[in-house]
Structure 1
Amino acid sequence: MNCHNSCELLDRGNPGQLLLQPVWDSMRTREELALSPFFPVVFSIISYVGFCLPFVVLDVLCPSVAIVRLYKIHPDFSPSARQLLPCLGQTLYQHLVFVFPVTLLHWALSPAPLPPEAPELFQLLSHVFICLLLFDTEIFVWHVLHHKVPWLYRNFHKVHHQNTSSFALATQYMSLWELFSLTFFDVVNVALLGCHPLTVFVFHVVNIWLSVEDHSGYDFPWSTHRLVPFGWYGGVAHHDLHHSQFNCNFAPYFTHWDRLLGTLRPAPLPAWQCACGRRCSDSGRLCTKCR
């Protein structure tokens, strides 16, 4: 986009679009990279591993650093190299051997140039939120089915539950069917809404982060679920309870479906909120010492 066209676009754009246009123009200077069939897989792997690495470092420090143990849901558990390496290896293998050919096929069948205009800020935020709600609903239904139907659980979902105490790199430790199911919902939602490529990019980053955080095993005062009022977002302790008890908290992010269908189980308070220095109870209430 030349200077004249760019200025003309900014003149007629609304404030929300003006805010994102410079960002989008910068991304469009790398259009060749963005439209490469390699980009989605490389971006997915780099984002995922990049979000996991800080938690891997914390897991290494956990046994010897008390402040780290304070925020860990299971302070006596740290994943070993025998647990970490197979998880990382399976993620890389599945993306390179299975996901990349599908990405390549999609690129060959439907090449599409990037639009010159950025999305409106409100449109981007609303589309990301709607995509998260749709994804949450689809995975809730998928998840319940794969727990209630023994054949589905045994053949497809059991892999993900091999680690009862979750850790970041176990987020994508799953069967190929489960990986493709999650990817399918992810791709279909942005297509149904006709999301702008920048919106798709933001949604993928947010979705990867939230899934990694949910499996990280660390409950911080600044964790995402503490930023959402009224307990409508479950968070890491909420999802950790699903991994340890199997029959509750099926939604990956929000809590409304579990509330409506009676499968919601409140997570216990973290140790840093309790005077006794431990998670008080499965009900989430303070123990006698902490009241």
Structure 2
Amino acid sequence: MVFWEGYVSDEAMGTFAPIVVYWVYAGFYQLLPPLDKFRLHTRKEEEEKNSVPLATVVKGVLLQQLVQATVAQLLFLLTSKFDISTTPVQPAIHIQIVQIIIAMFTMDTWQYFVHRYMHQNKFLYCHVHSQHHRLVVTYAIGALYNHPLEGLLLDTFGGAISFLVSGMTARTAVVFFCFAVIKTVDDHCGLWLPGNIFHIFFQNNTAYHDIHHQLQGTKYNYSQPFFSIWDRLLGTYMPYTLVKRPEGGFEARLKKD
């Protein structure tokens, strides 16, 4: 039994809980004090390098989430009607864990190849993916700031495919999608905070993705949001080292051979 049982359907939670989690978690980062000694870029760099205002970023994220919610509702409706997903009976916890791991690898695979192609195809990069890279210095609320087409192809379809391939129920999907959202927000937060569990357990983390957003790293570190497997296997992995800046904070620098 879960706390929403009897009040909200699993399908509704799977649709809207990730959206609520996004704004709560990203809002937490947004409301933090400047924390200059933990930033990967100075506030001056953020003002100078980013070419899109916060209001536009918020509107872009809301548009993507509207599309995601629509697709999620259709997906849950179809899987319920045609019994595409697993049995409605919630499986044992160890099976759910396996399903979540399968979904993580599936999402990573889909996002790596679509993300990489959007960089390699000049038309798609110029007219679609470059919108996300207007945030050279990333911050939490901008994690899902994408062109609507990219949001649909990369995130929405990636989530739908992960759900279908793993065979998870709508209830398990609530956990998976909320976790994926938290991880994505954290990867874009621009802070290297001590004790951050994602930095401890995932090599694909805030600094890893920060390298990708820098000019010298745009052809590397495509993997997101969980592991770095495909980067390592296909030669697009760019190692980095964290260096303390004299004025405070850190800088993720490319590691030289």
Q: TM-score, normalised by structure 1?
A: 0.73
Change (3 A) 1:235 1:280: closer
Please list every run of at least 4 consecutive aligned residues from structure 1 whose deviation after the TM superposition is greater than 6 angstroms: 113-116
1:163 aligns with 2:135: yes
1:85 aligns with 2:55: yes
Equivalent pairs, count: 245
In the TM superposition, 1:117-266 aligns within 5 A as 117-181=89-153, 182-228=155-201, 233-245=203-215, 246-252=218-224, 253-266=226-239
Q: Any stretches of 5+ residues in structure 1 without a counterpart?
A: 1-21, 63-67, 286-291
Q: Is the partner of 1:145 in helix, strand or coil?
A: helix
How big is the shift at 1:139? Answer: 0.8
CA–CA distance in 1 between the matches of 2:172 and 2:136?
Answer: 34
How big is the shift at 1:107? Answer: 5.7
CA–CA distance in 2 between the matches of 1:92 and 1:276?
Answer: 36
Residues 192 and 250 in structure 2, CA contact (< 8 A), matched pair in contact too: no
Q: TM-score, normalised by structure 2?
A: 0.82
- Match of residue 23 from structure 2: 49
Change (3 A) 1:122 1:270: farther
- Match of residue 29 from structure 1: 6
CA–CA distance in 1 between the matches of 2:78 and 2:228?
Answer: 38
CA–CA distance in 1 between the matches of 2:60 and 2:252?
Answer: 35
Q: Is the partner of 1:268 in helix, strand or coil?
A: strand
CA–CA distance in 1 between the matches of 2:118 and 2:251?
Answer: 31
* Paired amino acid for 1:55: Y
Q: Is the partner of 1:263 in helix, strand or coil?
A: coil
Q: Any stretches of 5+ residues in structure 2 without a counterpart?
A: none
Structure number with higher relative contact order (C-alpha < 8 Å, ≥ 6 residues apart)? 2
